[in-house]
Amino acid sequence: MAEAARVLVVDGAEGVRTFLTEAFAAAGYQVLAARDGESALRTLEHEPVDVVVAEIFLPGLDGIELTRRIRGMGGRTEVVLVAADAPVRTVVEAMRAGAHDAIEKPIDIERLLLSVEKALERRRLERENLALRRLEDQRTAGGEQIIAVSEEMREVLRTVELVAPTDLTVLIEGESGVGKELVANRIHRLSPRRDMPFVAINCGVLQHNLLESELFGHTKGAFTGAISDHVGLFEVADKGTIFLDEIGELPLDLQVKLLRVLETNEFRRVGSNRVQRADVRVIAATNRKLVEEVRAGRFREDLYYRLNVICITVPPLRRRPEEIPPLVELFVERARRRGLRPRRFTPEALEVLQRHPWPGNVRELENLVERALILARGEQIGAEDLPRFLAAPSALPARADEEDGDYPLAEMERRHIIRALCRNRFNKLKTARRLGINVKTLYNKIKAYQIDVEALRREQPA
């Protein structure tokens, strides 16, 4: 359940502070109080606040300057100012400083409550608009269908339906390309948060400082290149869901900060001491075995148990070949909507696809379907229209001379790396030496080509 909004009352008169504090508490708000602008700023540095209600003519730091300081903090706290007999020019100055409203004393409490409610609504709309802008270029799995023919995938969906209505943290395990984000998105769409943002980020694709900024935001000048305030994804996803893909790649110091968010819903932007608050459901995913990462000291044990409240394992495509025909139909239809001419895959072609182990899982299958739709010359796609490597009994071409132009250059390199790994019994140091590259480059290429070394190891004969 979402927490009540927080209001900070700032007034030098104790009687007014008490009156407003009691009125806001009776209306269902969480209420804080301060006697002057300086103490209000100290409170804002450590407590998340949605709306500040302040007297304009405060002693020392007045309400207008307080408004400017609040705006300078880079948060989305709204300000409503109150005053008795304030000149028009003062009210105009207050609005220019960023106040949402200015109300005369003696205070009409119904008018003040309505103003605060409108300020909160504006804050909510701004956050939703920001979420839409940030998500516009992000590929999410909003309406994509999950094919569940196999019993394993049906069990996945049954678990999804049970956990979705709750706010429990979910950990999704599975190899690269199996559709972990689809599962996360389905959990969100079946949850009470469905009308709020679903924000996804891959923790393995950004450098450390960029990842921290993307997750939690930063203030202007926090680091070189921080030319303005930046709202992080936890703020964007407020009242919604954040999907942290490849959580096993998260650096240890960011694991500490994520643990704090999970336990308190609080975080700080990079370069700021001010506490921010967000009501976010966290769904994490990994293609690693986090238990092994914990044993190796690369992942915090307390964070692992905090994430692993509910664990869903998505099986690899090679364990559910019966789902390949309906998946092919889905990908053909999806390609048709993007302008490609739809074609039917023959039973012989589908049989070839079902025999392939698909180390890249569903993502690899979709890429191959698109390739076939583009390159096939006939009205239907037969086994002869598929790449030659699919006819081989394993995921690897048997001989180097089979690399005869069937694949793009990147695919040829990927398969060359796979063969080298297999020949060297998955010893990465030895493989790197044989390939004439350093180990770090090899690791980067394995990651870039999404080569599941453990899956290949299991498939090799002893």
pTM score: 0.64
Domain with CATH 3.40.50.2300 in the chain: 6-134
Percentage of residues of the chain with pLDDT beyond 70:
90
The segment(s) of the chain belonging to CATH 1.10.8.60 are 321-459
**Given pLDDT bands bounded at 50, 70 and 90, which one contains residue 393?**
very low
Mean pLDDT (the chain) is 86
The pLDDT tens digits for 181-218 are 999 999 999 999 998 999 999 998 777 878 999 999 98
Q: What is the distance between the alpha carbons of residues 33 and 226, in angstroms, rounded to a whole number?
A: 33
Q: Is the peptide bond before 106 cis (omega within 30 degrees of 0)?
A: yes
Please tell me the predicted confidence (pLDDT) of residue 1.
Answer: 41
Find the range with the poorest average confidence among 196-205, 240-249, 257-266: 196-205
- Residue 242 has φ and ψ, to the nearest 5°, of -115, 135
Q: What is the 3-state secondary structure (H, E, C) of 296-337?
A: CCCCCHHHHHHHCCEEEECCCHHHCHHHHHHHHHHHHHHHHH
Residue 141 confidence class, pLDDT cut points 50, 70, 90:
very low
Report the distance separating Cα 284 and Cα 173, nearest Å: 9
User: Per-residue pLDDT averaged across 363-371, rounded?
Assistant: 90
Sequence-distant (≥ 6) Cβ neighbours of residue 433 within 8 angstroms = none
Q: For the domain 6-134, what is the CATH code?
A: 3.40.50.2300
Domain 321-459 class in CATH? mainly alpha
Picking from 205, 214, 201, 195, the residue whose alpha carbon sits closest to that of residue 132 is: 195
List every span in the chain annotated with CATH 3.40.50.300: 151-315
Overall fold of domain 151-315: Rossmann fold (3.40.50)
